[in-house]
Amino acid sequence: MTDQTPASRAHRPRSRWLTVIALGAAFVAGGVTTSGLAMAAEGMAMHHHMMMGPPGEMHAMAMAHVDKMLDQVAATPDQKARIHDILKTGFAPMAGMRGDMEATHRSLHAILSAPTIDRDALEHLRASHVAGIDVASHGMTKAIADAAEVLTPDQRAKMAAIMSEHHKPS
């Protein structure tokens, strides 16, 4: 049986919001990695297809979305500034992943085009790439939690409601 006290109900929207963001970030990171390795294995030019645009452009699009959400929950200018700073710092490790993916592509190409496939090198490449994603996702998760704490419980609840409405299954 679950705890249905007012305190437990008040905590749920924040947990849902953080869970949705964390899972979304993990999904994107995992999807980019999985599709990137698949394209590299098929010999496609991963560096041309993996990213939707230059990192600065992608960051600007993401921050525009954050601003829209913050406007919808009536965040103050101070809250917006603090959240921008937190997210900029927390998401910085993701910017380096583009270069890492290009290096991974070159290494993968070398391993798979060799006369003999070095399975240990392939496994080492996979493990190091996953470790890099893990480090970046820890920073992202911390930034998301820190940003969420800048908002009031009512703002987080409103954001959770907006996100739930926007992401209803069709």
Q: How far is CA 58 from CA 53, 72, 150, 165, in A?
A: 6, 21, 24, 24
- pLDDT tens track of the chain, all 170 residues? 444 554 444 444 444 444 445 545 544 444 443 333 333 333 333 333 344 456 567 778 888 888 999 999 999 999 999 999 999 888 877 777 777 788 888 999 999 999 999 999 999 999 988 888 888 888 889 999 999 999 999 999 999 998 888 777 76
CB-based contact 132:30 (threshold 8 Å): no
Per CATH, the number for 53-157 is: 1.20.120
pTM over 0.75: no
Write down the domain spans for the chain.
53-157
